[in-house]
Amino acid sequence: MSLVLLRRKAVNALASLLSTLSAIIALGFLAWILATLISKGAAGIGLAFFTRLPKPPGELGGGLANAVVGTVLLTAMAVAFGVPVGLLAGIHLAEFGRDGRIARTIRFVSDVLMGAPSIVVGVFVYALLVRPTGKFSGIAGAVALAVLMLPIVTRTTDEMLRLVPGSLREAALALGAPAWKMVTRVSLRAALPGITTGVLLAIARVSGETAPLLFTALNSPYWTFNPAEPTASLNVTMFNYAMSPYHDWQQLAWAAALVITTGVLLLTIVARTLRARAR
Amino acid sequence: MDAVEDNAEAAEVERGAGTMSPSIPKRTVASPRVDRGFRSLALLGAVIVLLIAAAIGVTLVQGASAALLSFGPSFFTSRSWDPVLQQFGALPSLLGTIVAAALALGIAVPLSIGIAIFLTELAPAWLARPVATAIEVLAAVPSIIYGMWGLFVLAPVVAEDVQPWLTKHTALLPFFQGPPMGIGMLTASVVLAVMVVPYIAAVARDLFTMVPAPIKEAATGLGATRWEVVRSVVLPYTRSGLIGAVTLGLGRALGETMAVTFVIGNSHEIGLSLYAPSNTIASTLANEFTEATGDLYLSSLMALALTLFVLTFVILALGRMLVAQTVRKGAA
């Protein structure tokens, strides 16, 4: 075997080794992170976590029930604000705007929004809603999360609707259906599985976001059912507790981390199963 | 805009948009008023998207104006960040953002491409799918988890094992000197890299699977080894998409807050050592925004937010332009 051939084979072997090593390193980090999460978080999970309010550091027996409720509240409001607007925008882009100049501008702007860092969105909502009114509120936090969801839902709706074949639309129109009925009963219904997947993935992503909530919804150690007041959330609580010097607070932070991650992963799995089943 | 249009057209043809019917009539005979209402509603949704983006720009500029007007362009070159003396400069945070992102990408891009090559070329089918799913799980984990893991698990390991080892073996380089505290630019870059790898790897893998088998087989038929096929066929073919993927990862790395804030150390100092605590724009905002006293302090923070927004926008726009350019040159 010539020297050149040996060298080429050696380079090939080296490249294969490095690629496999990369995969092993990535998997190693994943296993490390998940193992840390489960080992540190599982100890704090229990009935108390979901039913008790946080206690001052040093007192045992506290939980994060208010934060769990707050996170659900904030996410629900974010969905209520962001999903309808995103759906409508996506419908306009796919059905009415098509490739006109307005539609292209809106797609470009939507991409810009999607790339905006989440903390910048938090600063924006602070300047828009918190500063003029003088108070932090759950609504401001939900708006920040909705702004993060909006471009994702818009783009997903746009792309899923575009995948619906034109013949279905023409058939509906030819049968005398009004345009609005055609869009809702035919196009949307055909694209619904894909859109649902996209919305679920957007919710999963948004429920893990902390930065936009830091100075909009703030946090609270009490029950927060009024969206016009600062609202507790698991994410901001994790941020505060993990950086604190108190061991029981850090324990709660890890438990909260496990809860959030489980929720996000479950949502992602459900979304992907929906997508796989639709195919 | 030409490049964007060409790219949009190419994407259109690819998507088979020729199957979409001609424009929906503005007013059908069946129910003209409801149609008009529905159209307007959809347009409203689209306009709201535009308005929000514009509002972000306007609000940030408005909020930052006080600081930018009083400090002028020296805001971006000043190293001081002193709330007591009310002297604010963006350079430490800005430099920290760029350095952290650059280091993170330097670690993440080779790793991601390696993973993508492993998934598409090396792994047998029964292995490729679970590994790919595992990578996607990495991407779905919220970034605050990375930050917490970095602070409680990685930082001690770095402080006790990695940093002393590096200091001993790289005595001539100024980058790895200093007290081994565990938190600092080095740990932050590693955490950021681990966070960014799944995104770039997922896109790269999708790109690699789109390379048509015939041209790969042609290379193999001419006697190329597996690596040579990757190097001479797969990588050039997917070059534009890879640029887009790296740009996406860079955009994420620049704006990432939670993964970085826990481990970067929160210090407005510039130095050569990677062990030193540092700051990024995102971590400065996260740490100091709720404690900002005085209008000038707050305005300076908003100026930082504006800088980050513009920076991410420029990087993402540049990436799209680069992708469109390579598409036009016919490379991929």
Which contacts (CB < 8 Å, 24+ apart) does range A6-11 have? A8/B225, A8/B228, A9/B225, A11/B225, A11/B227
User: Which residues in chain A have their CB less than 8 angstroms from residue B60's CB?
Assistant: 120, 123-124, 127
Contact criterion met (CB < 8 Å) for A257 and B230: no
Q: What mean pLDDT, rounded, does chain A reach?
A: 90
pLDDT digits (tens, 9 = 90+) for B226-246: 999 999 999 999 888 899 889
Q: Which residues of A touch B302 (CB under 8 A)?
A: 123, 127
Identify the pLDDT of residue B29: 66
B131–A265 C-beta distance less than 8 A: no
Return the pLDDT at A173: 87
Cβ contact, residue pair A22, B140, below 8 Å = no
Q: Could you tell me if residue A61 is left (phi over 0), alpha (psi between -120 and 50 degrees) or otherwise beta? A: left
Cβ proximity of B4 and A107 under 8 Å: no
Q: Is B46 close to A93, i.e. CB distance below 8 A? A: yes
The phi, psi pair for B87, rounded to 5°, reads -110, 120
- Cα–Cα dist B106/B234, whole Å: 21
* Structural tokens at position A119: 């903390």
SS3 A257: helix
Torsion sign, CA atoms B165, B166, B170, B174: negative
Minimum mean pLDDT range among B25-39, B133-147, B158-172: B25-39
State the Cα–Cα distance between residues B165 and B186, nearest whole angstrom: 14
- CB A96 to CB B43 under 8 A? yes
- Yes or no, beta carbons of A26 and B135 under 8 Å apart: yes
Name the percent of chain A lying above pLDDT 70: 100
Q: Tokens representing B187?
A: 């740990």
3-state secondary structure of B81: strand
| B181, A64 contact by CB (below 8 A) | no
- What's the pLDDT at B22? 61
List CB contacts (< 8 A) between B255 and chain A. Answer: 115-120
Mutate to test the interface with A, among B258, B295, B301 (most CBs of A within 10 A): B258
- Map residue B311 onto helix, strand or coil: helix
Per-residue pLDDT, B109: 95
pLDDT digits (tens, 9 = 90+) for B99-129: 999 999 999 999 999 999 999 999 998 999 8
B175 touches chain A (CB under 8 A): no
Q: Which amino acid is at A46?
A: G
Which chain A residues are Cβ-neighbours of B45 within 8 angstroms?
84-92
Predicted pLDDT of residue A50: 86
Tokens of B222: 């001419």
Both tokens of B244, joined, read 């887009």
Asked if A97 and B46 come within 8 Å (Cβ–Cβ), the reply is yes
Mutate to test the interface with A, among B4, B52, B246 (most CBs of A within 10 A): B52
Residue A177 above 70 pLDDT? yes
Measured distance CA(B109)–CA(B244) in Å, rounded: 12
pLDDT value, residue B329: 60
What pLDDT does residue A279 have? 66
Which pLDDT value is given to residue A100? 85
- Which pLDDT tens digit goes with each residue over A38-55? 999 988 888 888 888 888
Structure tokens at A177: 């259906």
Please state, in angstroms and rounded to a whole number, the distance separating the CA atoms of residues A193 and A173: 23
Instruction: Select from B255, B308, B260 the least CA-distant residue to B64.
Output: B308
User: What pLDDT score was predicted for residue B9?
Assistant: 45
Q: B196: Cβ–Cβ under 8 A, 6 or more apart, which residues?
A: B104, B105, B108, B112, B249, B252, B253
Residues of chain B in contact with residue A204, where contact means CB-CB under 8 angstroms, are 140
- Shortest CA distance to A153 belongs to which of A204, A101, A209? A204
CA–CA dist B68, B72 (Å, integer): 5
What is the reported pLDDT for A57? Answer: 82
Q: Which of A4, A124, A136, A238 to mutate to test the interface with B (most CBs of B within 10 A)?
A: A124
Query: What is the 8-class DSSP label of residue B278?
Result: B
Query: Does the CB of B172 have a partner CB in chain A at under 8 Å?
Result: no
Write the DSSP assignment of A134-154 as a string of letters: TS--HHHHHHHHHHHHHHHHH
Q: B142 vs A22: CB contact, 8 Å cut-off?
A: no
Q: In this complex, is the C-beta atom of B119 within 8 Å of any C-beta atom belonging to chain A?
A: yes
Average confidence (pLDDT) over A171-190: 89
Residue B215 banded pLDDT, cuts 50, 70, 90: very high
The Cα–Cα gap between B88 and A179 comes to 56
Contact assignment for B115 to A23 by CB distance below 8 Å = yes
> Contact, B188 vs B99, CB < 8 A?
no
Give the pair of three-digit tokens for residue A33. Answer: 């992170």
Contacts of B282 (CB under 8 A, 6+ apart): A117, A119, A211, B97, B255, B256, B257, B260, B261, B308
Q: What are the CA-CA distances from residue A259 to residues A117, A213, A234, B110, B270 (Å)? A: 24, 18, 9, 33, 38
* Closest by Cβ to B114, choosing from A18, A173, A261: A18
Q: How many helices (H) and strands (E) in chain B? A: 15, 2
pLDDT, position A178: 87
Residue B176 has pLDDT above 90, yes or no: no
- Give me the mean pLDDT over the A193-215 stretch: 91
Match 């726009």 to its residue by tokens.
B317
pLDDT at B276: 86
Contacts of B153 in chain A (CB under 8 A): 32, 36
Q: At residue B222, what are phi and psi to the nearest 5 degrees? A: -85, 5
For A76-86, the pLDDT digits (tens) are 999 999 999 99
Cβ–Cβ gap A30/B52 under 8 Å: no
DSSP assignments along B23-51, one per residue: PPPSS-SS-HHHHHHHHHHHHHHHHHHHH
Tell me which chain A residues have a C-beta less than 8 angstroms from the C-beta of B118: 19-20, 22-23
Average pLDDT of every residue of chain B: 86
User: In this predicted model, what pLDDT tens digit does every residue of A85-139 receive, in sequence order?
Assistant: 999 999 999 988 888 888 889 999 998 899 899 999 999 999 999 989 988 999 9
Determine which of A5, A34, A83, A92 to mutate to test the interface with B (most B C-beta atoms within 10 Å). A92
Cα(first)–Cα(last) distance of chain A, in Å? 50
Q: What is the DSSP string of B101-153?
A: HHHHHHHHHHHHHHHHHIIIIIS-HHHHHHHHHHHHHHHHS-HHHHHHHIIII
pLDDT at B60: 94
pTM: 0.89
Q: Do B142 and A261 lie within an 8 Å CB cutoff?
A: yes
Q: pLDDT tens digits for B33-91?
A: 888 889 999 999 999 999 999 999 999 999 999 998 998 888 888 888 888 888 888 89
Instruction: Note which residues in 202-261 of chain B have CB less than 8 A from chain A.
Output: 225-228, 230, 251, 254-258, 261
- Distances in Å between the Cα of B6 and the Cα atoms of B1, B325, B328 are 9, 10, 8
User: Is the pLDDT assigned to residue B302 strictly greater than 50?
Assistant: yes
Give the mean pLDDT of A241-266. 91
B212 by DSSP, 3-state: which?
Answer: coil
Q: Which of A8, A19, A96 sits opposite B24 (nearest CB)?
A: A96
Nearest by CB to residue B227, choosing from A15, A121, A204, is: A15
> In this predicted model, which residue has the larger pLDDT, B163 or A28?
A28
CA distance B183 to B154: 9
For tokens 């919220």, what's the residue? B142
**Closest approach of B73 to chain A, Cα-based (Å):** 21
Instruction: Determine the distance in angstroms separating the CA of B38 from the nearest CA of chain A, rounded to an integer.
Output: 6
Q: Please count the other Cβ atoms lying within 10 Å of the Cβ belonging to residue B107.
A: 18
Q: Cβ contacts of residue A206 below 8 Å, gap of 6+?
A: A75, A78, A145, A148, A149
> What are the pLDDT digits (tens) for B23-46?
676 666 667 888 888 999 999 999
Give me the residue from B201, B227, B251 closest to A12, CB to CB.
Answer: B227
Determine, for residues A128 and B230 on separate chains, whether the beta-carbon distance falls below 8 Å: no
The two structure tokens encoding residue A256? 């909260």
User: Does A183 sit within 8 Å of B38, measured CB to CB?
Assistant: yes
> pLDDT band for position B305 (50/70/90)?
very high
Distance (Å, whole) CA B112 – CA B268:
31
Q: How many CB pairs under 8 A join A and B?
A: 293
Q: Is the dihedral of CA B134, B140, B142, B143 positive or negative?
A: positive
**Most confident among A196-205, B9-18, B155-164 (mean pLDDT):** A196-205
B/e letters for B271-302, b = 16+ CB within 10 Å, e = fewer, are bebbbbbbbbbbbbbbbbbeebeeebbbbbbb
Residue B332 has pLDDT above 50, yes or no: no
A116 in Cβ contact with B49 (< 8 Å): no
ipTM score of the complex? 0.90
Closest approach of B74 to chain A, Cα-based (Å) = 22
